[in-house]
Each structure stands twice: as C-alpha cells, then as structure tokens.
Structure 1
Amino acid sequence: MDIKWLRTFIISAKYENFREASEELFLTQPAVTKHIKRLEESLYIQLFERIGKKVVLTPAGHKFLFYARELISNYEQGMQDFEAWKQGYNRKLIIAAAPQVASSFLPALLRRFMDENPNIEVLINVLSSFEIGNVISLGKADLGLTRILPVQTNVKAETVHKESVILVGPNESSLDENIALHKYRLITHNHPDYWDDFLNEIKRHYPNVQTMKVNQVEVTKRFIEEGLGVSYLPLTVVKEEIASKRLVEIKPDKIIRPTSSTYLLTKAATDEVLIFIEFLKRFIPF
C-alpha cells in the first residue's frame, strides 16, 4: 500500500469528485483514478461507487476513511519525530505567539532558550492574539504568548511583561504630539488590546484627528517610515527602528498613554512548558 494512494483517497473522499481532487493534489484525473483503483485492489474491496461521472463513498469507503486518516496522521507524526531525532532533538515545544510578540522580544528570548536547551525542538506558530487562547485550549500548542487575556476557562494566563506605549512618527525633528496628530493620519488597531478605548481618549483632545486602520504592526511601521501616518505602539515593537533613526518617539503632551501587557497562556504543565516558564522568569522577571 502506497502512502500516496491514501492521500489521494482522503482528498477524493472529501470532494467525492475525482476532478476536484486532482486539482487540489496537482495530479491528472487519470492519476487519481489509478491511485484509487490500486488502493481498492490492495484492500480487495470497492471504496467508491461510480454513478456516471460522479463518485460516492461506499459503506466500506466510509469505514476505511477513518483508518486512512489515522494512518496518514501516524505516518506524518512519525516522520516529524524521526527528522527531529536526526537533528538531535528529543523533546518538542510548540509556541503560539502573537505578531507583536514574535517581532519584538521573542527572537532574543528564543536564541537564549535554545542555546540553553539544544535538545528541545521549538516550533513557532504566529497567530493573532484572538486565536491563541483557542489554540491552547484545544491542545494545538503547548504555550501561548499573547497581548490579550483568553476567554477560555480551561486556559491559565499569567502576566509576564508590561511596557509603555509610545507615539512614534517618521524621522522629523520638528514633531510634537500636537503637530503629529494634526499633520498625519493616526494609524490605529494594529494592537489587539487598547485601541477601542484609547481612541476615544485621543479624540477627546483631538476631535478632528484623521485615522487609518492597519491590523499589522510591521505594516504600520513601514507606513510610518514612508510618512503615511503616526501611531501608538509598544516600546519593544519599535525599539530597533528608533535606535536606527528610522522612526522617532514623539513626547507626550495631553494624551495619557496606555500600557501593553504580554500574557503567558498554558493548559498542561509538561516538562517542556515548565522548563520554558522557569527560563522566562529569569529572562523577564514576572
């Protein structure tokens, strides 16, 4: 039995249509038909019933679909584990990280963690803060680093970092808060936590401020560099750009800035999770 036949069967079962399966698999339709025929011959049973140009799963096809998915899952997991073993890993840690975390302090943190724990394979899944709580709840990641508290009741959350939010603009020496918010559009909603309430505070002092929603921090920073606007962002997110003078910090005047928190989300306290938490407490004191 060829693993390719199983993949073809699973995709064909999803569509119950060999043409659509061939498009997803980047195979010709005759190749899909051949894979299914070979699989049926190896199992000595019919998996699809052909009705004209249509195909439908037989009772045997429905039954075998469960086993085919299990076989593929075990095969892929086994290959991942074997590849990890070849690279010297004997443990794995899956981290779900918000973009604002992944692009700020996480790289330096991971470099030190992996130096200390060379036998732990670290996998990073960058997701929106709103998704991370659910991913941890479902057990699809071992821990999460997010900018908002989760709504899931089976997920534990700890605050691991708090930082200032600052107003940043393009590199112009003449900028102050009043000039910046009159001259430039205010780029908003690039952070999942503070914008809704904070925007009301800004408009209370600057009611005519023009805004532009951009939901990605990296895009926001690039827009600011090109003179498209200014924005309030966590300090760690723009630290490098300020140091290299691509962006400048604009000093506060009327606006009371919020703070930005990073939360560590966990569900199961595996050995790898506990090792990471202990490391995190040394790197960023809770």
Structure 2
Amino acid sequence: MDINNLKTFLAVVRYGSFRKAAGDFYISPRAVSKQMDQLEDELGIKLFERKKNRSELTEDGHEFIVTAEDIVNTYTNEINRINTRKKNQVKHLRLGFSSSNQAIALQRKLLPMIDKEYTVDFIQQSGRRLIELLQAGELDFIVTPYYFLDNEEMKTLKMISLFTGELVVGISKNSSLSKQEYVKVEDLEDRDIFYYSPVESAFMQDVLIAKFPNHFKKEQIKRAPSLELRDAYVASNQGIGFYPSVFVDVERTRNPMIEFKHLDTTNNIAYSSALYYRKDANDEIKKIVAKLG
C-alpha cells in the first residue's frame, strides 16, 4: 500500500476537497483523484461519492480513516525511530495532545521538565484515540482533558492534573445572555452546542449529557472539525460552546466576539487539562513525572 496515497487520502478528509488536498503536496487535483482511484482499487471499496465540484466520504471511507491514520503514524514513527538510531540519539519521547489548548498545557508544564538530550515526536489526535495509542505503548505521554467522570478505559493509566478549573459557557456578544453576570443551564436548553473533535466521535456528546443530565439532547450537541469552526459558530450566535476556564485568557485573545460566562449551577462542571502515562512506565518516564511534583 502506497503511503503517499494514504497521506493524500487523509488530506482530502481534512480539507473535504481534492483541490485543497492537492495544494498540500504541490500536485494537481487530477493527480489526487488518480491516487484515490488507486487506493480504492487496492482496497476493493469505494471511499468517496464523487459529485460535481465536491466529494463526500462513503460509510466505508469514514471507517477507513482510523486505519489510514494508524498506518501513516506507524510508518512516520518508524522512520523517525530509524533516523534517530542512525544519529545515535539514545533518548526519545513520543507525546500526544488533543487540541491547541492541550498543546499550551504541554508547553507550560511538561516540556520544561524534559532534558535537552531527549528528542521528541508529537502527534495530535482525538482524546480517545490518544488513549488507545498510549495503552498500546505507541506513546509515552498524552495531554487531554479530564472531565471528572468515571471512565473504565482509563484504569490502566496514571493521571496528573496540569491545570484544574471548570467549564464556562462561551456566548456571542450578539446574544442577550452575554450581558448577564452568570448564566443558568436552563437558559441554554434550547440552543445548539458546538464542540471540537478532529474525527467523528460521540464522546463529547456523552460528556455533556453526563454533566448536564436532563438539560440537553444529543441532536443539540454538534461536532465542529476544527476549533476555528466551533468558535465561528459561537461568535456568530448560531449556538454556544463550553470552554475550560483555565484557557479563557487564550480564548479571549483569539475570540473577540465571544463572552465567557460562569455557570450558575450545581452540576458537575469540573475540568482538568491532564497528563496521562502508563502505570507500567519505564524509569525514564517516571523521572520526568517526578519533576512535575
């Protein structure tokens, strides 16, 4: 299987466009289409429904995304490992984070604890996918939110809270709710809620329903494939978003049309930007953890 075809496939998924994906690799849209034809022929499935001026993923196409990501990531990690060995760089770390906010937490807390002798590889994925990769031993650390909800799949991992706060609600300045000092959850029940996830996932729907039982329905809680899109929907008063209080200073800088309000509620709105590592981590990992206190 041609790794370049897989990389091109993921670029098409990311941009939703053959033309935009072509720009990433300095090739023509026709060349992208040919690569996708080759991939479909090799797999024996149809990945895209090609329509005039646009292409949409089929059900098989959606299911193939994680497989393609695994192959590309494994290939990239192996190439990096080989190159590292060639350069005789002994110490190597693999770090994952789930969003730009989690990358900030990683930079503020974890990176200062890592000695200069280490080389570091980074990967950005959804929180659930990062957990799977960490459990499989393909990552050393991940930084992703903890929502203070029971989660069986985390039992094999250890966690350190890097920043702890609560969820606040982001509301467009064009909304009358933005003028209130506090916002009640009941005032939000008829509004769409936008959350960020780079892949199709119901995880945040489950989190918000668990945190605010009997207040929201699943169909109200909608995925945006980028932080920028989520913020654009909120800023234009098409819905609301829940944001971590620990990153509100950053959010205010990049979202001048959004007001961030505390919630007047007894619901569980606790939030943490958390560092995870395996319970059976090696001594090098444990030394870094010890520096975090």
TM-score normalised by L of structure 2 = 0.55
3-state DSSP of counterpart to 1:81: helix
1:1-286 equivalences under 5 Å are: 23=38, 77-83=81-87, 85=88, 89-99=89-99, 102-114=102-114, 117-147=115-145, 149=151, 151=153, 155-161=156-162, 162-172=164-174, 174=176, 175=178, 176=180, 177=183, 181=188, 184-188=191-195, 192=204, 194-203=207-216, 211-214=220-223, 216=225, 218=227, 219-243=229-253, 246=256, 247-254=258-265, 256-261=267-272, 262-281=274-293
Return the offset for 1:256. 3.3
The alignment's C-alpha RMSD in Å is 4.1
Kept in 1, the 8 Å contact 2:97–2:103? The answer is: no
Task: Give TM-score, length-normalised by structure 1.
Answer: 0.56
Determine if contact 2:93/2:120 at 8 Å carries over to the other structure: yes
Q: Give the 3 Å change call, closer, same or farther, for CA 111–79 of structure 1 in structure 2.
A: closer
**4+ long deviations beyond 6 Å:** 73-76
Structure possessing the higher radius of gyration over alpha carbons: 1
Conservation of the 8 A alpha-carbon contact between 1:188 and 1:211: no
5+ residue gaps, structure 1, are 1-6, 12-19, 25-72, 282-286
**Residues 1:243 and 1:255: Cα distance change in structure 2 (over 3 Å):** farther
What is the identity percentage for the equivalent residue pairs of Structure 1 and Structure 2? 12
> Which range moves more in the overlay, 210-219 or 179-188?
179-188
Alignment length, in residue pairs? 206
> Equivalent residue of 2:239, what SS?
coil
Encode CA deviations 1:46-77: one digit per residue, 9 max, x unaligned. xxxxxxxxxxxxxxxxxxxxxxxxxxx98873
Deviation track 1:197-232 (CA, whole Å, cap 9, x = no partner) reads 1343434xxx9x982411557132332233332122
Q: The residue matched to 2:209 in structure 1 has which SS?
A: helix
CA contact (8 A) 1:92 1:272 kept: no
Partner Cα distance (1:160, 1:240) in 2: 19
Shift of residue 259, structure 1, vs aligned partner: 0.9
Structure 1 residue 277: Cα displacement: 0.8
Name the CA shift for 1:243/1:189 in 2 (closer, same or farther; >3 Å): closer
